[in-house]
Amino acid sequence: MPLVCNELLGRELLKIYQDTDSFNFSIDSILLANFVSITKRVNKICDLCSGNAPIPLYLSLRSKAKIIGVEVQHDSYNLAKMSI
């Protein structure tokens, strides 16, 4: 599994790990995250099928809520853990 570590959206403090041989997130993940309405009353966010966690990472820039990502694929889950 060849791994790469990139800055998420050019943000130096947000790193995302990806396996170059499997699915990698695209701008679609960021666009989807932009559709989420987050108010100050939101204190928990759950992302299903998180993959390597681009959406939870991006949402962490927009909210102080507790963000939970759920992923069933072991390799993607491990990449997400590395990223966060």
Question: Would you state the pLDDT for residue 49?
Answer: 93
| Confidence (pTM) | 0.85
Q: Which domain holds residue 11?
A: 3-83
Question: Would you state the pLDDT for residue 23?
Answer: 78
Question: Would you state the pLDDT for residue 74?
Answer: 94
Question: Would you state the pLDDT for residue 80?
Answer: 93
Task: Give the total number of structural domains in the chain.
Answer: 1
Residue range 56-75, pLDDT digits in tens: 999 998 999 999 999 999 99
Indicate which CATH number applies to the domain containing 32.
3.40.50.150
Residues (pLDDT < 50) of the chain are: none
Helices (H), ranges, 1-84: 27-34, 54-59, 74-83
Question: Would you state the pLDDT for residue 6?
Answer: 82
Q: Is 47 exposed, middle or buried (0-12, 13-18, 19+ CB in 10 A)?
A: buried
